[in-house]
């Protein structure tokens, strides 16, 4: 099962952004960097967060997982969406 997440980084210097282990976009405003990242499982995502904490020297980032999977069924003419599994936003 693949987990997709959005990475936001703020309050770091350009030298730190150059060391990030993902490709993304540099921003100029409230956030300094944004990227879409994918993980095989929650353990890989947690390891990535530990690595980021070491690189950034703090917790000035958010890793926001998106919905992992869902099903849509129609009942009596209406739609029902059931989330099978999701992960809460992880903030160090």
Q: What is the pLDDT of residues 22-69, one digit of tens each?
A: 999 999 888 999 999 999 988 999 999 999 999 998 889 999 988 655
Nearest in space to 9 (alpha carbons), one of 38, 26, 37, 19: 26
Q: Is the pTM of this model over 0.75?
A: no
Fold entry, domain 3-85 = Alpha-Beta Plaits (3.30.70)
Backbone φ and ψ of 28, nearest 5°: -130, 100
Q: How confident is the model at residue 91 (pLDDT cuts 50, 70, 90)?
A: very low
Task: Tell me how far the alpha carbon of residue 31 is from its chain's centroid.
Answer: 14
């Amino acid at each position: 099962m693949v987990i997709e997440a959005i990475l936001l980084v703020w309050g770091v210097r350009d030298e730190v952004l150059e060391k990030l282990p993902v490709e993304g976009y540099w921003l100029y405003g409230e956030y300094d960097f944004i990227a879409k990242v994918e993980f095989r499982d929650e353990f890989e995502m947690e390891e990535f967060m530990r690595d980021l904490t070491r690189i950034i020297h703090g917790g000035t980032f958010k890793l926001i997982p998106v919905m992992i999977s869902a099903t849509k069924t129609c009942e009596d003419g209406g739609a029902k969406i059931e989330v099978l599994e999701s992960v809460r936003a992880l903030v160090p």
